[in-house]
Structure 1
Amino acid sequence: MGVGKGTIARALIKRTKRFGLDTDDLIESMENRKIKAIFETDGEAYFRKLEKKTAKWLEKNVKNAIISTGGGFFKVENLDRIGAVIYLKSSFDGILKRLKEHENADLKLAKRPLLTDENKARALFEERSSLYEAKADIIIDVENRSVNEITQDLITLLNLKEKKDKA
């Protein structure tokens, strides 16, 4: 949550010319409402059911794409059948710093309902860190690194072909 999954995914999409999907965007489209509203109205358990539904759809219908997921998506049962799992690793303080220093910091923080209570968010982070590592095919430290550095490392690690525009 807040580590830069979307930013890194967009950079990979641009450099590799692959299609990109964001699971939170898919869920918002399916529900015709924002994640925050889903949490407020129906709760986290309902949201997790939507993630499972999205994961099943991805497995069946999507190949060779860059998929950015929400922070809890790692719990879906079929994650390993969707594609390579990359854990963008950062400290909790690094994530908070990144979000607070963003030009749209208020928006970035507001759209993350699990970050409304910093102590609970920190506890969730601590609980999830080892679980993320256990699920990941690739772990890459993103703290204090540029998007370009991270993207280049991922292209190399995943053996993705970087497509140059011939213009």
Structure 2
Amino acid sequence: MPQISHPKDSSARAFATPADNIVLIGFMGSGKSTLAQALALESSRFMLDSDALIQQRVGQSVKEYFASFGEAAFRAREAEFIAWVSSSVRGAIIATGGGMPIFHSVKEMGLVVYLRAEFDAICARLDSEQIAMRPLFGDMDNARRLFDSRRALYEKSAHLTIDATKPPHTLTQEILHHQSR
């Protein structure tokens, strides 16, 4: 499976609960996948990227799947992912798609961390190829409106909100410290 990093020793996590998962949410380009990889390495856990796993399952990119089957079909695949994680996955770092917490409850998957960053900061960190891969960035004015409309829902969906403009190592330490309480 793509975007999965395996822990060095998973035996201690055999009886873990969904709360042992760390679920990263935020707008497209906020750094969810990058931070998930850093967290997985730092905590010796495995990492799941919801979009990558859905792409593997359906055999198309998110953009192609949206174009072929529409948003409702994609959101149904996300719901299947959430059900699977909630019932079967323990001790994971999970990077979600940007819309997942807008259309679904994600709290049952684990500790939900919102990576908060301003729209301009997100755009500044993405190159033209990364922007082209994200269908909703096709129209920057619409993307900004979407960003503005989602902020409150991200906040509401999260157990913890952190400033995503900090370096990944700092964010990793903040999240792991919060989870260890």
Do they superpose with TM above 0.5?
Answer: yes
Cα distance in 2 for residues equivalent to 1:115 and 1:74: 18
Contact 2:102 2:153 (C-alpha < 8 Å) held by counterparts: no
TM-score (norm 2): 0.81
2:130 corresponds to 1:130: no
Paired residues in the alignment total 154
2:39 corresponds to 1:18: no
Structure 1 outlier segments of 4+, above 6 Å: none
State the Cα deviation string for residues 95-117 of structure 1 (Å, max 9, x = none): 00111xxxxx2331121111111
Match of 2:139 among 92, 114, 117: 117
Residue in structure 1 matched with residue 180 of structure 2 by the alignment? 159
Aligned residues: CA RMSD: 1.3
Contact 1:55 1:76 (C-alpha < 8 Å) held by counterparts: no
Cα distance in 2 for residues equivalent to 1:136 and 1:78: 10
Structure 1 position 78, deviation (Å): 4.5
Equivalence map 1:77-156=2 (5 Å): 77-99=104-126, 105-143=127-165, 145-156=166-177
Structure 1 unmatched ranges of 5 or more: 100-104, 161-167
Residue in structure 2 matched with residue 65 of structure 1 by the alignment? 92
Structure 2 unmatched ranges of 5 or more: 1-27
State the Cα deviation string for residues 80-135 of structure 1 (Å, max 9, x = none): 21101100000011100111xxxxx2331121111111011101100000110011
Residues 61/76 of structure 1: CA separation in 2 closer, same or farther (3 Å cut)? farther
Letter in 2 for 1:110: A
Cα distance in 1 for residues equivalent to 2:96 and 2:54: 11
Letter in 2 for 1:4: G
